Structure 1
């Protein structure tokens, strides 16, 4: 555990509390609540006393059936005799389940940098080794570098699309190449799709598990936290090859026994509403995204803004010798605006900041980005 990095969100949260009035562009959450249909399902949960007892490790049957329909309609993934669905306490738990199920101590998992910090933490907790592979200047996958990183100890390649922390969306062709590589090498493709619905400018999300005959080596992770405003309800799910089901059930039964049943009922209500709920809010988030782009583009002498068409993040390269955490601290203490340092996402050279814009509506977002721009102008000496 001493080798596992400390989660950055609580650290930044403490700085925010110490500096009253700070606007947070740090944590990746949305501004809107769950649908009313999710709340109404809770009364159905309460009407059955047996719901207060332990339920299936995999999840309750009505929710599993609804997820099957969702996967077919939204992801073109068919749940056949070779695949299983497991409901989890968020997709972070799904990732932990996957790592524990497929590895022995000392095995390797390939992460593309910048990575999602909880992935790196989970791999280290499992006494495995994260193998870091650089993406290109636009944070897109580099297949040749991924190939070169594979060793006899490699167990999986992880992709996140739309991406956290960069906001980029990987192309269908590049995801297919990674998936084919995993098939050829006899390793797993772990596809984290927590931000599947957050795409802009006509960009479409692609699920690798929709590839024909990929069911024996593709692991797909999903979350309700983002699209349905479900962050604290802790509900996600994973689609896994059947041969991993017994291992995942052992892990989940040990850590959790079963996903919170009250949250599963709420999830059932949310998925029943489906696209009709989150689409209107994603349009609002896109407006905030454009506000941020318009304010950041003129700062080309201070920072590099890579085009991103997914999730609700920008990953800025700042033209300074200042350490990124030092810059983050000054932005909070002097300008009351909070972002996350790039080092927590595996970028050790240079100064990078992750900006999250999903939690803000337009008025607050405008104030927040103006503070950030002012802070960067005053704190950075342009190269």
Structure 2
């Protein structure tokens, strides 16, 4: 039987591949998947009884999300992100990945181009390929910061959008306000969309987070993506949201109605409770992650002679550059099989040359972090 040709060019998701290797080697400490260790706030769980108390909630609800949640999100965006948007421009999604795929399907036709920054988030590249479009990859600099001149040079008549992720996955870099505004201005000048993924907005260490959709006049060409998965310990609840120009709402409603009809309503109620707990709940937890971050960074300094770690002031990732002739996937396999520690290979993020490894520390307590990084360092020393 025939299969779709476009799917042959879509890379396999790496996390399940590494997850299977971990299962084959019990006791492995995972520094791979980007999740946090803490649960949702109590206010989120408390909302479940409210959901259950209304029989109508077991029926389909609005495609774009329940009104109470969209209104609460609009308040949050105004207070925390400086984005003066109407609830009418907010679409609740089943996670930020759905938001990105919604956006790509709404703004592109087969054969169009979308500009990504290298290293990129692999699910973004996969979504572009699934839409029969082409990812135009622009490298970031040695500190994984945007190179706006190179982005400008990559724009052609086929370009439909420029994508930024700040704080960044997989590098942990936080882009400057000046660079993000330059990208936004490029999009305005060339009639493109700026897709801004802000999943890790709360995870910054000593630097501010900037929302490209906040300046006046940017709302007509900026698509902003957010998620509760990381900051609120909400990964399996699958709730994110997107802020979109009004002229895209009809297209996105068509896409979402076809794909999921509406995000799980029980999860939307839980999201209401999470936003009621608010940023203060997240900040307390992120302070503990920041302590783990410092430990990991200090330990990695012991192998600086053959492993470089560019500055990473956001998210909960470090992207290591290891001096070895082995491929990143070969190193990942050896670390799991021989040292009991898992990381992700840079190849899945578009880094085909050199050996890059993404280390995630958000899910680790202090003791596990020390143990995991110790295994990582011992394994890399042996490989080197």
- Structure 1 unaligned blocks of 5 or more: none
How far residue 51 of structure 1 moved from its aligned partner, in angstroms, is 0.3
1:137 paired residue among 133, 138, 142: 142
Aligned residue in 2 for 1:53? 59
Q: Is the 8 A contact 1:26 1:354 kept in 2?
A: yes
Pair 1:111 & 2:116 matched: yes
Partner residue, 1:359: 363
State the partner residue of 2:45: 39
**Runs of 4+, deviation exceeding 4 Å:** none
Equivalent positions of 1:147-186 (< 5 A) are: 147-186=152-191
How big is each residue's C-alpha offset from its partner over 1:205-250, in whole Å with a ceiling of 9 and x where there is no partner? 0000001100100000000000000000000000000000000000
Of 30-39 and 297-306, more deviation after overlay is shown by 297-306
Distance 2:86 2:76 in 1: 14
Tell me, yes or no, if the aligned pair for 1:317 and 1:353 is still in contact at 8 Å. yes
- Maintained 8 Å contact 1:156/1:188: yes
Q: How has the CA–CA distance of structure 1 residues 80 and 61 changed in structure 2, closer, same or farther, with 3 Å as cutoff? A: closer
Q: Distance in 1 between matches of 2:148 and 2:176?
A: 12
The total of aligned residue pairs comes to 378
CA deviations on 1:137-192 (whole Å, 9 max, x unpaired) are 00000011101111100000000000000000000010000000100011000000
**Would the aligned equivalents of 2:92 and 2:240 in 1 still touch at CA under 8 Å?**
yes
2:349 matches 1:345: yes
Q: Does 1:190 align with 2:169?
A: no
Which of residues 30, 36, 43 in structure 2 aligns to 1:30? 36
Structure 1 residue 255 displacement after superposition:
0.2
CA separation in 1, counterparts of 2:270 and 2:122? Answer: 28
1:124 aligned onto 2:143: no
Aligned partner of 2:293 in structure 1 is 289
Q: Distance in 2 between matches of 1:99 and 1:33?
A: 31
Q: Pick which of 19-28 and 71-80 moved more.
A: 71-80
The equivalent of 1:261 in structure 2 is 265
Return the alpha-carbon distance in structure 2 between the equivalents of residues 14 and 259 of structure 1. 29
Query: TM-score, normalised on structure 2?
Result: 0.98
Structure 1 CA distance, aligned partners of 2:133 and 2:65? 28
Q: Which residue of 2 aligns with 1:232?
A: 236
**Which residue of the partner structure matches residue 27 of structure 2?**
21
Shift of 1:80: 4.3
Q: Which residue of 1 is the match for residue 9 of structure 2?
A: 3
Confirm or deny: 8 A CA contact 1:86 1:238 kept in the other structure.
yes
Shift of 1:91: 0.3
Root-mean-square deviation (CA, aligned residues, Å) is 0.8
Normalising by structure 1, we get a TM-score of 0.98
- The whole-number CA distance in structure 2 between the counterparts of 1:215 and 1:62 is 22
CA distance in 1, matches of 2:154, 2:95: 29
> Could you tell me how far 1:298 is from its partner in structure 2?
2.3
Q: Say if 2:104 is the partner of 1:72.
A: no
1:335 has 2:339 as partner: yes
Structure 2 residue runs of 5 or longer lacking an equivalent are 1-6
Alpha-carbon distance in structure 2 between the residues aligned to 1:151 and 1:132: 13
Partners of 1:35 and 1:154 in 2: CA distance: 41
Q: Is the 8 A contact 1:302 1:376 kept in 2?
A: no
